[in-house]
Amino acid sequence: MFLAVPLEEISMYNIFEDEDDIFMGSPRSKFHDVIFNASRGVVEGELERLIERQAVLEFILGEEQVEALDKKIVSLKFEHAQELESMVKSLYVESMGNILTQAE
C-alpha cells in the first residue's frame, strides 16, 4: 500500500530540517558553522567568488534591469517561496562544499 505524500514533502533537504537529525541543523546553520570555523582565507575566497558572480550577473543585466530585478525579487519571494527555499539550501550546500574541499 502506498501513502499519498506530496512531492514537496519528499525532498533530500527534509533531512536537514529536523534539529534531532544526525546533521544537527539546516543547510543554513551548517553553512554558518563552516564559515565561522574554516580558514579565513578559504572563506574569503568563497565570498569573493559569490560577489564576483553577482557582479557579472548584474553587469549582464545592466543598471535599469537590475532595478527592475530588485522589484521582481520581492514578488518572486512570495510567489515561489518553496522553489526558492530549495534553491537557497542548494546554494548553501554548494558553498559549504567549496569551502570544505579547499580546507582539506
| Farthest CA pair distance, the chain | 56
pTM: 0.69
Residue 29 pLDDT: 93
Each residue of 63-82: pLDDT tens digit?
A: 888 888 888 888 999 899 99
30: part of which helix (H) or strand (E)? helix 27-37
Q: Please classify residue 99 by burial: count the beta carbons closer than 10 Å to its beta carbon, then call 0-12 exposed, 13-18 middle and 19+ buried.
A: buried
Comparing CA positions, the residue from 103, 99, 104 lying closest to residue 27 is 99
Indicate if the pLDDT at residue 90 is higher than 90. Answer: yes
Are 99 and 30 contacting, i.e. CB atoms less than 8 angstroms apart? no
DSSP 8-state code for residue 28: H
Average pLDDT, the chain: 81
